[in-house]
Amino acid sequence: MRIERHLGKIIVEGVVAPDFPRDLAATLPTDVALSVEHDLLADAGRSITTVSGLDALPQTLITCLSMMRGESPFHPDYGSRLAEYWHCYVGSPWLNTLIKLDVARLASIPYGDPVLNQRYTPLRCVERVEKVEVIGSLERGRLPIRLELMIAGVGSWSRACGFLWPR
Q: Per the domain annotation, does 41 fall within a domain?
A: yes
Question: Could you give the count of Cα atoms lying within 13 Å of 11 in the half-sphere of its Cβ?
Answer: 7
Under the banding of pLDDT at 50, 70 and 90, the label for residue 37 is low
CATH of the domain at 70: 3.10.450
Tell me what pLDDT residue 95 has. Answer: 93
Q: Per the domain annotation, does 157 fall within a domain?
A: yes
H, E, C per residue of 128-167: EEEEEEECCCCECCEEEEEEEEEECCCEEEEEEEEEECCC
Domain with 55, as residue range(s), is: 19-164
Q: Per the domain annotation, does 7 fall within a domain?
A: no
* Structural domains counted in the chain: 1
Q: Say how far apart CA 51 and CA 121 lie, in whole Å.
A: 20
For the chain, how are helix, strand and coil distributed in percent, rounded to 5?
A: 25, 35, 45
Q: Per the domain annotation, does 96 fall within a domain?
A: yes
| Dihedral of the alpha carbons of 33, 77, 161, 142, in degrees to the nearest 10 | 100
Q: Per the domain annotation, does 145 fall within a domain?
A: yes
Q: Say how far apart CA 155 and CA 32 lie, in whole Å.
A: 25
Averaged pLDDT of the chain: 88
Q: Per the domain annotation, does 11 fall within a domain?
A: no
Using the 8-state DSSP alphabet, how is residue 107 labeled?
A: H
Q: Per the domain annotation, does 5 fall within a domain?
A: no
The model's pTM is 0.83
3-state secondary structure of 105: helix
Closest CA to 154 of 66, 25, 28, 17: 25
What tens digit of pLDDT does each residue of 94-153 get? 999 999 999 999 999 999 988 889 999 999 999 999 999 999 887 877 888 999 999 999
Question: Residue 129's beta-bridge partner residues?
Answer: 149
CB atoms within 10 A of CB 163: 24
Q: Per the domain annotation, does 13 fall within a domain?
A: no
